[in-house]
Amino acid sequence: MSLTECDCSTYIPFQKTGFFSTMMCDYIEKSDKLTPFYGNFPSIENFESQIKLKQQSFSKDKRDILVDALKRQYQKTDVSEKTAENFELLLRENTFTVTTGHQLNLFTGPLYFLYKIISAINLAEELSLKYPNANFVPVYWMATEDHDFEEINYFNFKGRKVQWNSDQTGGVGRFSTEGLDRVFEEFQKHLGTSRNATFLKDLFTNGYLKHNNLADATRYIANELFATYGLVIVDADDVELKKLFIPYVKEDLFNETSFKAVSGTNEGLERNYKIQVNPREINLFYLTNDLRERIIFENEKFKVNNTNIEFSKEEIEQELEKNPERFSPNVIMRPLYQEVILPNLCYIGGGGELAYWMQLKEYFNSVKVPFPILLLRNSVQVISKKQFGKLESLNISLGELFLKQNDLLEKKVTENSKVSFDFSSQKKFLEEQFNDLREIANQTDISYVGAVNAQEKKQLKGLENLEKRLLRAEKRRQSDLVERITNIQAEILPNLSLEERKRNFSEYYLEYGNDFVVALKDKLKPLQLEFFVLVK
């Protein structure tokens, strides 16, 4: 089935969906409360100064090392003409990257994996039009060193949880793909025999059953979906790339640089916002094939937590020089590592990611690395034409769909009722009467003012309770409408949350094939900073 987009697709302000944090809404609105915690705001004009900033700090040697690493990592992957061209462009001093990152979720995990990458691709293309004297390359940074396997070992498909069980430990990129044949056997039962189903089966098989580790498998899948657009996929778990990071690792081990800088930033940020991550004295892990444990400093020794491994200062410095790949940055240092090894201008992420990036600007300043532009990724809600028709019949706008369910039901039941349940005028009248009573009390016996206030509060509370009881009664009377609204909202928003965090791309690919990716690519505008509703 082909996907034809309805002209009723629309953009909605992030703030009106109710699903984005106060910090992200303030960021989009350029609130003064957040200005100290980021550099250039994500507008097309601000990239000019960001280009100059990065160009001055990124050397030719780094470009050579980066491209050599990429070519080595792609040896088992078919490189598209566009991606190969981007490899060569990265050697030039006028080429820059726009980057998004994501965990190695099984079969891409939640839908927003696609939205992140398409945001990066579209931004690179938009920058190329605005700045024709420079080149821009979209990058997907694989979180290969992450060790939170429970976060990535499943995806949801049509309400079913497809899960991979494994007792492996360490950085997930190095995990063997053993056992994924059993996952495939279960998954393919629900796909059918269509052309799109065959593509999904081949994608899973060629990705997971023909590659030995999770990093190679994920690279294959992302490359199959996006290579035509020149996407470059980076695995930072690489000894040559880690060598570039040695000076910053030393800073953290011996001077606690990140801890001091981020702790200072947090004091200012937490006055208005919840802190996303807290720094440790050392923000590094020790990484081997089956181990990723924190490095701690205790009793004048550098120790690897939960092991017997320990080093003196001289020994850990020797270990770093000899085996830099064993030093893995945590969430505080990973962004710095990215900016050290890439000629990057912009990081594209979700609200939670950008929240912890906001904690890092002073850290970047302290180690003299340019802080990138931070861009909130595109978010999308997909609605079928049939679902859109149901919303229209219920007189629910696309904006109203995102109201909290109780608020939506109250609004629509009230609109559909012959009587009003808004007692605002009665409350206003009551308040006026009690203002008069307070004036009388003030002129006769001021001790009665408290009694007047208490009675006012009681009367207003009584009106509110009556309002709620009448509304409940009206909901019972309009039970069919309530049920229809409840059902369509739950159908579109699984568990009343954004579908992009719950559903997997395979559900839509099964129905629409690559037209789904093409439609997203055509419509998503990363710098518009709004939520997109795709009616198909």
pLDDT tens digits along 376-407? 999 999 999 999 999 999 999 999 999 999 99
Residue 535, pLDDT above cutoff 80: yes
pLDDT mean across residues, the chain: 94
Q: Verify that 153 and 39 share a domain, yes or no.
A: yes
DSSP state of 190: G
**pLDDT (0 to 100) of residue 536:** 87
Domain of 205, CATH number, reads: 3.40.50
Residue 448, pLDDT above cutoff 80: no
**Helix-strand-coil split of the chain, %, nearest 5:** 55, 15, 30
User: Are the beta carbons of 504 and 110 closer than 8 angstroms?
Assistant: yes
Strands of 327-329's sheet in order across: 310-311, 301-304, 291-298, 284-288, 327-329
Q: Verify that 374 and 430 share a domain, yes or no.
A: no
Length of the chain: 536
Helices (H), 131-229: 149-152, 180-187, 195-204, 214-226
Residue 469, pLDDT above cutoff 90: no
Q: Verify that 469 and 340 share a domain, yes or no.
A: no
> Could you tell me the pLDDT band of residue 444, with boundaries at 50, 70 and 90?
confident
3 state DSSP class of 344: strand
Pairing of strands 531-535, 380-383: parallel
**pLDDT (0 to 100) of residue 319:** 98
Residue 376, CB-side half-sphere exposure with 13 Å CA sphere: 24
User: Are the beta carbons of 43 and 377 closer than 8 angstroms?
Assistant: no
Q: Verify that 361 and 450 share a domain, yes or no.
A: no
pLDDT in tens, 47-73: 999 999 999 999 999 999 999 999 999
- Domain containing 64 equals 21-243+333-379
Phi, psi of 114 (to 5 degrees): -65, -40
User: Are the beta carbons of 401 and 391 closer than 8 angstroms?
Assistant: yes
The two structure tokens encoding residue 405: 């369910």
The two structure tokens encoding residue 119: 């945001």
Which residues does 339 contact at the CB level (< 8 Å), separation at least 6? Answer: 364, 369, 370, 371, 372
Domain annotation covers residue 369? yes
Domain annotation covers residue 68? yes
pLDDT in tens, 189-243: 999 999 999 999 999 999 999 999 999 999 999 999 999 999 999 999 999 999 9
Q: Verify that 98 and 224 share a domain, yes or no.
A: yes
pLDDT in tens, 86-120: 999 999 999 999 999 999 999 999 999 999 999 99
Q: Verify that 105 and 234 share a domain, yes or no.
A: yes
DSSP state of 144: T
> Could you tell me the pLDDT band of residue 507, with boundaries at 50, 70 and 90?
very high
Q: Verify that 124 and 204 share a domain, yes or no.
A: yes
Q: Verify that 132 and 220 share a domain, yes or no.
A: yes
Q: Verify that 346 and 471 share a domain, yes or no.
A: no
Type and span of the H or E element at 303: strand 301-304
Identify the domain boundary among 448, 475, 502: 475
Residue 1, pLDDT above cutoff 60: no
User: Are the beta carbons of 362 and 38 closer than 8 angstroms?
Assistant: no
Task: Count Cβ atoms within 10 A of the Cβ of residue 463 and give its class: 0-12 exposed, 13-18 middle, 19 or more buried.
Answer: middle
Pairing of strands 301-304, 310-311: antiparallel
Q: Verify that 468 and 343 share a domain, yes or no.
A: no
Domain annotation covers residue 523? no
Specify the pTM: 0.91
Residue 283, pLDDT above cutoff 60: yes
pLDDT in tens, 340-352: 999 999 999 999 9
As for how many domains the chain has, the answer is 2
Domain annotation covers residue 265? no
Domain annotation covers residue 328? no
Nearest-angstrom CA–CA distance, 312 and 320: 12
Q: Verify that 355 and 463 share a domain, yes or no.
A: no
pLDDT in tens, 399-431: 999 999 999 999 999 898 876 656 667 767 677
Q: Verify that 367 and 432 share a domain, yes or no.
A: no
